[in-house]
Amino acid sequence: MTTAETPSQKTIGERLREGGRPLFSFEFFPPRDDAGAEQLWRAIKLLQPLSPDFVSVTYGANGSSRDRTVAVTRRLAAKTSLTTMGHLTCASQPVSEIEGVLEAYEDAGVRHILAVRGDMPGGPTAPWLPHPAGLPNATALVSLVKATGPFCVGVAAFPDIHPSRHDSDLDARILLDKQAAGAEFAITQLFFRPESYFSLIERIRAIGCTLPVIPGIMPITQIGQIERFADLSGAPIPDEVEKRLRAVADDPPGVREVGAEIATELSQALLDGGAPGLHFFTQNRSVATMAIWAGLRVRPVAH
């Protein structure tokens, strides 16, 4: 049965502006093979009963990965009751390709788009080179999405400062520009210190940016993620977090437990400080996300 959203339903942006309870959401990535697909849909099946307010699927750096993103997003929109947000980047692709993806999302009944610039193949610190027939940045992407269809648009925010800019004030001004282009909310890159998030909010509010900003949360489940964290976020993992994880480095279940504890503590501090929700980077798994969710004093409710 098709359960794609209808125009009468409130958008994520509208729900965030109304306030009330925090929103909770889950992010997945497109599987590379059949085994990955099985793991993805198993995680979705286990997490769906938690009644997330929306789910999303990351947009890859190459054509085949992007095709898988669109396919998974279509299936989520058509075969589940979950509000589905499509990811979209402007990295390494022409405007015509971006417009094609937007058309596919709209045909699938997807009304929400997370519009981000995206990274070059070399990662978040590699120099940005716009496609010759593409867009210069995420702000231009937001404008294109808003001009293309009736989409509610979210964007990225950076509590630990964008790795290629190293300028927190510029990050704030860019978020204000995205709001002016039509963005209605933001989701942060992963981070581990609550003060990083609240400092970001203070900076953007000081210049008139009123976007609701949902913190992005990713639990460390394997000790090897410590080294990969900088590649994912452009910032090193905080010393105090690494110390707690290194203390149980030889105990894989202990790493998962401590990683979940750290993420739960961060999540609760953010909610206590007024964050409008939490966006979990699930890594296509359910156990850690469910453990964090169970440890929170405020949880999703059926809607």
Q: How confident is the model at residue 151 (pLDDT cuts 50, 70, 90)?
A: very high
Q: How confident is the model at residue 8 (pLDDT cuts 50, 70, 90)?
A: very low
Q: What is the pLDDT of residue 2?
A: 38
Point out the least confidently predicted range of 38-42, 158-162, 259-263. Answer: 158-162
Tell me if 66 is assigned to some domain: yes
Question: How far is the C-alpha of 122 from the C-alpha of 114, rounded, in Å?
Answer: 22
More confident residue, 213 or 4: 213
Q: How many CA atoms does the CB half-sphere of 58 hold within 13 Å?
A: 23
More confident residue, 159 or 235: 159
Domains in the chain: how many in total? 1
Tell me if 166 is assigned to some domain: yes
Tell me if 301 is assigned to some domain: no
Is the model's pLDDT at 234 over the cut of 70? no
Across residues 14-31, what is the average pLDDT? 92
Residue 195 bears catalytic tag: no
Q: What is the pLDDT of residue 118?
A: 84
Tell me if 58 is assigned to some domain: yes
Percentage of residues of the chain with pLDDT beyond 70: 88
The reported pTM is 0.91
| Catalytic residue chosen out of the listed positions 5, 14, 27, 195 | 27
Q: What is the pLDDT of residue 200?
A: 96
Secondary structure of the chain in HEC code, one letter for each residue? CCCCCCCCCCCHHHHHHHCCCCEEEEEECCCCCHHHHHHHHHHHHHHHHHCCCEEEECCCCCHHHHHHHHHHHHHHHHHCCCCEEEEEECCCCCHHHHHHHHHHHHHCCCCEEEEECCCECCECCCCCCCCCCCCCCHHHHHHHHHHHCCCEEEEEECCCCCCCCCCHHHHHHHHHHHHHHCCCEEEEEECCCHHHHHHHHHHHHHCCCCCCEEEEECCCCCCCHHHHHHHHHCCCCCHHHHHHHHCCCCCHHHHHHHHHHHHHHHHHHHHHCCCCEEEEECCCCCHHHHHHHHHCCCCCCCC
Question: How far is the C-alpha of 67 from the C-alpha of 262, rounded, in Å?
Answer: 34
Percentage of residues of the chain with pLDDT beyond 90: 65
- Which residues constitute the domain of residue 170? 12-295
Q: What is the pLDDT of residue 224?
A: 86
Q: What is the pLDDT of residue 270?
A: 97
Tell me if 65 is assigned to some domain: yes
Per mean pLDDT, which of 5-14, 234-243, 253-262 is the most reliable?
253-262
For residue 116, the cross-strand partners are: 89
Residue range 169-181, pLDDT digits in tens: 888 999 999 999 9
Q: What is the pLDDT of residue 269?
A: 96
Average of per-residue pLDDT values in the chain? 88
Across residues 164-189, what is the average pLDDT? 90
Q: Are 113 and 86 in contact (CB under 8 A)?
A: yes
Burial (CB count <10 Å: 0-12, 13-18, 19+), residue 303: exposed
Question: How far is the C-alpha of 114 from the C-alpha of 187, rounded, in Å?
Answer: 9
Residue range 102-137, pLDDT digits in tens: 999 999 999 999 999 987 676 666 777 888 998 999
Is the model's pLDDT at 303 over the cut of 50? no
Q: Are 276 and 212 in contact (CB under 8 A)?
A: yes
Question: How far is the C-alpha of 235 from the C-alpha of 240, rounded, in Å?
Answer: 14
Closest CA to 24 of 270, 243, 211: 270
Tell me if 208 is assigned to some domain: yes
Relative orientation angle of helices 168-181 and 138-148, to the nearest 10 degrees: 10
CA distances from 64 to 67, 165, 282 (A): 5, 29, 21
Tell me if 29 is assigned to some domain: yes
Is the model's pLDDT at 25 over the cut of 70? yes
Q: What is the pLDDT of residue 225?
A: 84
Residue range 246-298, pLDDT digits in tens: 999 999 999 999 999 999 999 999 999 999 999 999 999 999 999 999 999 87
| Angle at the Cα of 292 from the Cα atoms of 290 and 16, rounded to 5 degrees | 95
The domain that holds 261 is classified in CATH as 3.20.20.220
